[in-house]
Amino acid sequence: MRPAGLQYSKEHEWVRVEGNTATVGITDFAQEQLTDIVFVELPELGRKVGAGDALAVVESVKSVSDVFSPVAGEVTEVNKALEKNPEKVNEDPFGAGWIVKLRVAKPDLSGLMDAAAYEAFVKAQAH
């Protein structure tokens, strides 16, 4: 089940845009593929990123994966709780497991999918 009201990338990130703030995390599907997350490398505050740029790194017992920014913006907040409790990404990827917040001027969501399109995308990849 994918929460409505979010936009999803083909790299399995989600973004929630509220005003000029975009909250970014990885999807439930992504955290399942990674398995047990043991470390999250967060970006520096003030860092500017473009859509598709590597934003953070998530390390699991299985692999290390980049988290890509679904939108362009400037890092205004990071989820410090993940430094001590990276497993929050596994436990609540759409809530307490968010990774970063960006200040966005005019978010371009045109390359992203809504919940239904992302669901279909994930099913197509599974086959």
pLDDT value for 107: 86
What pLDDT, on the 0 to 100 scale, is given for residue 125? 84
Tell the burial category of 32 from Cβ atoms under 10 Å away from its Cβ (0-12, 13-18, 19+): exposed
Q: How confident is the model at residue 5 (pLDDT cuts 50, 70, 90)?
A: confident
Contact 63, 100 (CB under 8 A): no
The pLDDT value given to residue 14: 97
Whether 2 shows a pLDDT value over 80: the answer reads no
**pLDDT tens digits for range 32-75:** 999 999 999 999 999 999 999 999 999 999 899 999 999 999 99
At 70-101, the pLDDT tens digits run 999 999 999 999 999 999 999 999 999 999 99
pTM above the 0.75 mark?
yes
pLDDT band at 9 (very low <50, low <70, confident <90, very high): very high
Residues 6+ apart with CB under 8 A from 37: 31, 58, 59, 60, 86, 87, 89, 90
Question: Residue ranges of the alpha helices (H) in 1-127?
Answer: 28-34, 81-84, 88-91, 115-126
Q: What is the pLDDT of residue 8?
A: 97
Fold of 7-105: OB fold (Dihydrolipoamide Acetyltransferase, E2P) (2.40.50)
Q: What is the pLDDT of residue 1?
A: 58
